[in-house]
Amino acid sequence: MDPIALAAGTALVSAIAADAWQGARIGLVAVWRRVRPDQAEAVDAELAETRAQMLAAREMGETDTEQALVADWQLRLQALIRSNPTVAVELRSLLDTQLAPSLSAEQRSRIGTLVMKAEASGSGRVYQAGRDQHITER
């Protein structure tokens, strides 16, 4: 799955359950209106429904509901990107300007992207880690 769809879906669901709800809604509906204008109003209504589901789930302590909503929006955003690959740039901008700033530091750490490339030849070794790494060699 496209890393932008993963990150934006995660951030979107977190943001719409918080004070960033209006900015997230306006931003995503604007993207949808440009790419699929006939679906923009339905997406707006679905975002409102997602917000209601998220608030109810948090009140009841249902973490599975949040995970399901994140997966749902990730799939929707992935489909949007597949239908128009240039939308990934708009989603990245929405993520950077509207969604991510409203998240806590812990939530932001879950949506970051990391790209690592390495090449070794001969008897060379490569060690890469996205976080802690402990290597013991003799």
**Whether 9 contacts 99, CB under 8 Å:** no
End-to-end CA distance of the chain: 39
61: left (phi over 0), alpha (psi -120 to 50) or beta: left
The token duo for 19 is 């004070």
48 close to 29: Cβ distance less than 8 angstroms: no
Amino acid at 128: Q
Q: What is the mean pLDDT of residues 36-65?
A: 93
Of 46-50, 65-69, 124-128, the least confident: 124-128
Which has more confidence, 100 or 86? 86
**Is the model's pLDDT at 123 over the cut of 90?**
no
118 near 128, Cβ under 8 Å? yes
